[in-house]
Amino acid sequence: MSSRTAPHIRPQHSADLTLAAVADLLGASVVTSAGEPAADAAAARVISGVTLTSSDVRPGDLYVGMPGQHTHGAKYAEEARRLGAVAVLTDEAGRSYVAASTAKDLPLLIVPDPRLVLGKVAEHIYANDTHRLPALGVTGTNGKTSTTYFMEALLGHAGVRTGLSTTVERHVGEHVLGSALTTPEASELHGLLASMRELGAKALLVEVSAQAVTRHRIDGVHFAVVGFTNLSPEHLDEYGDMEHYYAAKRALFTADRADRAVISLESEWGRRLARETELPVTTVGTGDECDWQLVEQSDRADGSTGTLVGPNGQRWPIVLSVPGVHMDVNAVLAVVMLVESGIIDAQQIESGLEAHVLADVYLPGRLERVSGESGPTFFVDYAHTEDALERTLVAVRKQTKGRIVLILGADGGRDPYKRPAMGRVASELSDVLVVNDINPRFEDPDAIRSVLVEAARAADHPAEVYDVGDPSAAIRTAIRIAHDDDTIIVCGPGDEDYHEVRGVKLPYSSRGAAREALREAGFEPNHSRRGGQDPADGVHADDLAAAERHDAESEKEQA
């Protein structure tokens, strides 16, 4: 895989299964690369870890070589052997690659589809099958990260140490374990969960993407409760249409994956899922038909408030430091998932809500304020779909005295169908729109912006539109245009700390660039509670030119 990807987290201890025990688990045999039965000594080798990334192999590992989009992982068995792999799990095609390499003396396990068994293998190697912790999983297009952070805050207030795996980061308390995919590959996920267990976690909170289900990344994990936030068009370049995207999410809500479900009825997809799932369901939302209903919701300058009404007459306060009914519904989903899990009791949950612990939750890049007391209000937000943009802009409009100045871009190489709708909604719901570049990847950034600009100018009630490619220059343009009572929002990058161009991830942070631009304009910015420093400078023309000349290194990651 790419050398820019950090090695995955491992526990200090494993179950130390023999290769023969792993073979029995899979109903397979230990063989040589020639296809003959392996010697007893080979079958007796102890497996202490598992990975599908050759450069991440550690001594004692089982290396998993499987077919990917661009290559076959078994082609890298030589590197795996050199780093200490003691065996290879692969398919018949992979056996041929190993047989033709200097790793041909490694014993093999041959199965029809290695990805289908990866979760089971990792679960047993890392002893997660015998030391299972209660796990809560959240899926949906938007709101997964917020919901998991809200659950973590309430559990922490009750004294429960949690392991958290989100798009933003993976951590147990102060131990930050890093983040890459929304949901890691099964081998990494089980290593991560075992590490969290060793660090004292008593409950696990996991964001679950559609790809995590369809690509078997969560295999071997059984959830006590799974939650559903919403569904809007995304990843359709992979799933084709909303029906297939919905089916990928729905597959999480089965008895082999979870015990119970909590579903938001704020979208038609949620209402449909509540009807179709085989799991016991509790529903949440703002409608009278919900088991738990959010009422009296109100946005204010520094956040939002509401009341959660339960089926037994509960009336619990919801107080957040961010505005928007969608954020309050995320909080309600988190609360009810904890109720259904039984990890803490109702009195402990109510105590946390009465203490307003959710108002202290730091949500990186989710309507995160980076401006200080003077000058325009400046937020950085992760909204990158039509639905999320609309929710964010409607919420911000309620607390903005002046105009909304929106800075918007669209990722290259992903979901191009979203761009016209994003441009239209952005233009309709803002007063000034500054279109810039966000991660153009291998696409022409000018072409991406032109789609957004054209859609924005064709809106029924168009905003004042500016086309400024460089993201740092776009932020400076917005600050120059804005008045003191205006609100500026950068939507899309959220808490990301890079800008990807032609296979190169250049250091860049919207938060850092915004704070720098605010200081240049004479305003003292607000510094986030997140540890570490954001890259302060933007991506400039010379960086982009260098990236254009850069040949992306060969992709070895088994997608």
* Rounded CA separation 32/42 (Å): 9
| Burial class for 548, CB neighbours closer than 10 Å (0-12, 13-18, 19+) | exposed
pLDDT score for 85: 97
Question: Average pLDDT of 87-105?
Answer: 97
Residue type, 395: A
Q: What is the pTM of this model?
A: 0.84
Nearest to 410 by CA among 394, 429, 433, 428: 433
**What domains can be seen in the chain, in order of their start residue?**
17-125 (3.40.1390.10), 135-360 (3.40.1190.10), 368-549 (3.90.190.20)
pLDDT tens readout for residues 210-244 = 999 999 999 999 999 999 999 987 777 788 899 99
Report pLDDT for 533: 47
Better-scored residue on pLDDT, 363 or 318: 318
CB 263 within 8 A of CB 274: yes
Instruction: Find out whether 176 and 165 touch, Cβ atoms under 8 Å.
Output: no
Q: Is 11 left (phi over 0), alpha (psi -120 to 50) or beta?
A: beta
pLDDT of 475 > 80? The answer is yes
Angle at 257 between CA 11 and CA 281, to 5 degrees: 130
Which tens digits make up the pLDDT trace of 443-452? Answer: 999 999 999 9
Task: Please give the pLDDT value at position 237.
Answer: 74
pLDDT reported for residue 98: 97
Q: State residue 541's pLDDT score.
A: 47
Q: What pLDDT was estimated at residue 182?
A: 63
Angle at 99 between CA 93 and CA 104, to 5 degrees: 130
pLDDT at 433 over 70: yes
User: What's the confidence (pLDDT) of residue 302?
Assistant: 80
More confident residue, 237 or 372: 372
Q: Give the pLDDT confidence of 9-51 residue by residue, as tens digits.
A: 788 888 889 999 999 999 999 999 999 999 999 999 999 999 9
Higher pLDDT, 411 or 177: 411
Q: What's the mean pLDDT in 263-282?
A: 97
Report pLDDT for 255: 97
> What tokens appear for 58 in the block?
């550690």
Query: What would the pLDDT profile of 43-85 be if each residue is shown by its tens digit?
Result: 999 999 999 999 999 999 999 999 988 899 999 999 999 999 9
pLDDT mean across residues, the chain: 90
Q: What type of residue is 223?
A: F
Q: Return d(Cα 17, Cα 10) in angstroms, integer.
A: 16
Per-residue confidence band for 494, with pLDDT thresholds at 50, 70 and 90: confident
**Residue 62 carries which DSSP code?**
E
DSSP string, 134-202: PEEEEESSS-HHHHHHHHHHHHHHTT--EEEE-SS-EEETTEE----SSS--HHHHHHHHHHHHHTT-S
Average pLDDT over residues 413-437: 95
Average pLDDT over residues 546-554: 40
The string of DSSP letters for 295-351 reads: EEEEEETTEEEEEEE-TTS-EEEEEESS--HHHHHHHHHHHHHHHHH-SS-HHHHHH
Q: Please compute the mean of the pLDDT values over residues 285-310 and round it to a whole number.
A: 94
Give me 512's structure tokens: 């850092």
The whole-number pLDDT of residue 552 equals 36
Does residue 532 carry a pLDDT above 80? no
Q: Percent of the chain, pLDDT > 90?
A: 76
- Mean pLDDT, residues 528-532 taken together: 46
Q: What is the pLDDT of residues 273-282, one digit of tens each?
A: 999 999 999 9
Rounded Cα–Cα distance for residues 47 and 106 (Å): 13
pLDDT at residue 467, as a whole number: 98
Give dist(CA 327, CA 330) in Å, integer: 5
The predicted pLDDT at position 179 comes to 55
pLDDT at 329 exceeding the cut of 80 = yes
Q: How is residue 459 annotated by DSSP?
A: S
- Between the alpha carbon of residue 241 and those of residues 272, 285, 386, 397, 495, the distances in Å are 16, 26, 16, 32, 28
Is pLDDT at 530 greater than 90 in this prediction? no
pLDDT digits (tens, 9 = 90+) for 111-129: 999 999 999 999 999 999 8
| Per-residue pLDDT, 534 | 54
Under a CB-based contact definition with an 8 Å cutoff, are residues 451 and 420 in contact? yes
The pLDDT of residue 337 is above 60: yes
**What letter would DSSP give residue 8?**
P
pLDDT at residue 2 tops 50: no
Q: What is the average pLDDT across 318-332?
A: 95
Residue 367 binned pLDDT confidence (cut-offs 50, 70, 90): confident
**Which one-letter DSSP state was computed for residue 270?**
H
Report residue 416 as tokens: 């191009």
Assign 102 a pLDDT band (cuts: 50, 70, 90): very high
Catalogue the E-assigned strands of 182-302. 203-207, 223-228, 258-264, 281-285, 292-300
Q: Which of 1-15, 79-93, 385-399, 463-477 has the lowest mean pLDDT?
A: 1-15
| CA atoms of 18 and 77, how far apart (whole Å) | 20
Predicted confidence at residue 546, as pLDDT, reads 47
Q: How confident is the model at residue 181 (pLDDT cuts 50, 70, 90)?
A: low
Beta bridge mates, 72: 67
